[in-house]
Amino acid sequence: MKLKVTLFGITREIVGQPTLEVAAPAEQSVAGLLDQLRAHYPVLGELTSFAVAVNNEYAGPDYQLHEHDEIALIPPVSGG
C-alpha cells in the first residue's frame, strides 16, 4: 500500500520536504513505518522523541495503518 506522511519541524528538515509517499506492506504498523523511515533517513533515528498521529489522533507503535490514513510525524515543540 502507499502511505502519505506529513512532516513537521525537525522531521521536515531532516527529510528535506513536507510530505512523503511511502510504499509499505499491507499490514504495516506505526512501528514498522518508523523503522522503514529510519532506514531511509538515518538521522531520524537520532531524534530522542516525536509523536505519530494517524487521522488526527496520536497513535501508538502497534497501531495498524491503512492505505488512506493521514499520517503525521510531530516533533516536540518548545516555546516561551
Mean pLDDT of 55-67: 95
**Residue type (1 letter), 19:** T
Please determine, for residue 79, whether its predicted confidence score (pLDDT) is greater than 80. no
Set of cell numbers at residue 72: 503525521
Q: What is the pTM of this model?
A: 0.89
pLDDT of residue 76: 79
pLDDT of residue 78: 62
Set of cell numbers at residue 74: 510531530
8-51 pLDDT per residue, tens: 999 999 999 999 999 999 989 999 999 999 999 999 988 888 89
In the β-sheet with 70-74, what is the strand arrangement from edge to edge?
19-23, 2-7, 70-74, 51-54, 57-58
User: CATH for 2-74?
Assistant: 3.10.20.30
Q: In this structure, how many other beta carbons lie within 10 angstroms of the beta carbon of residue 54?
A: 19
Domain residue limits, the chain: 2-74
pLDDT of residue 68: 87
